[in-house]
Structure 1
Amino acid sequence: PGSIIQIDETMMNFKCKSHRGRSTLNKTDALVIIEYQNKIKRAFAKIIPNKESRTIIPIVVSQVASSSIIWTDEHKSYKCLKNLGFEHDRVCHKYEFVNKLNGINTQAVESFNNCIKIKKKAKRSEAVR
């Protein structure tokens, strides 16, 4: 079988000044794709205009080998990946973060997203000084 690929979409905005959640205005979404084999081997991140299937799927098709095994959360944009010939498994974050039956998770890509946000926030605070 092919490599394990974890895919996740994330919002790159920070909390509002009042610290009451994220602003829905001027939001910046990103799609992150990582190849994972006991550690992150490769990573790809791209700012996307929205989280719709017609935006996400062409990026996945261009960046992921057809023999790959894709792990995602249950976001509706990923539903057609099996129809495109990918082996696709999902984890439902509503109930668990690691599927107890088969170990499927998105932990590595979530961790990578966090690293991106921390670095972005650090650069942002340097610019303010």
Structure 2
Amino acid sequence: MREVCAASLERENSEKIGREGRIVEVDEFILGGICRETGESFLKTVSDRGVQTFMKIIKDNVAERSTIYTDSWKSYRTSELKAQGFTHLKVNHKYHFVDPESGAHTQTIERMWESAKWKNKKQRGTSKNMLDSYLAEFM
């Protein structure tokens, strides 16, 4: 049943989130994003945490001209995000939770991760081969 829900969710959530004037926070526990203004979100499992993987998922799931907030992970390249039509602001968690100049933070997406992790802890963890279906159930 969980697999049926996952397939249905994948079809239903084919719309990109965000747009001009909206902020989409992105983080890499899996790779996910949440639009602050609407609450729309996406979660994708990733085979690796490289630049090409992240750029494809962001481009496929976030509308152009959105403002993307990330942490300072090396795979979020401002130059590549700008080339794809995004505004990119980041926060370096080594120094701040909220960037003092831009106000950028990733606390909304971090809370979403905590909720997803808490649900799985209550289920006594996750099986790696079932991760997509667990995420679909959470969404």
Coarse TM-score class (shorter-chain normalised): 0.7 to 0.9
Report the Cα distance in structure 1 between the residues aligned to 2:64 and 2:117, rounded to whole angstroms.
29
Report the Cα distance in structure 2 between the residues aligned to 1:33 and 1:102, rounded to whole angstroms.
19
Task: Tell me the CA shift for residue 124 of structure 1.
Answer: 2.4
1:115 maps to which residue?
Answer: 115
Secondary structure of 2:72's aligned partner: coil
Q: Please identify which structure carries the higher helix content.
A: 2
Q: Please identify which structure carries the higher strand content.
A: 1
| TM-score, normalization by structure 1 | 0.75
RMSD: 1.3
2:25 maps to which residue?
Answer: 6
Q: Which amino acid aligns with 2:68?
A: I
Task: Tell me the CA shift for residue 49 of structure 1.
Answer: 1.1
| TM-score, normalization by structure 2 | 0.70
Report the Cα distance in structure 1 between the residues aligned to 2:83 and 2:92, rounded to whole angstroms.
20
Where in structure 2 are there 5+ consecutive unaligned residues?
A: 1-19, 126-139
Secondary structure of 1:121's aligned partner: helix
Where in structure 1 are there 5+ consecutive unaligned residues?
A: 11-29
Stretches (4+) displaced over 6 A = none
Pairs aligned (count): 104
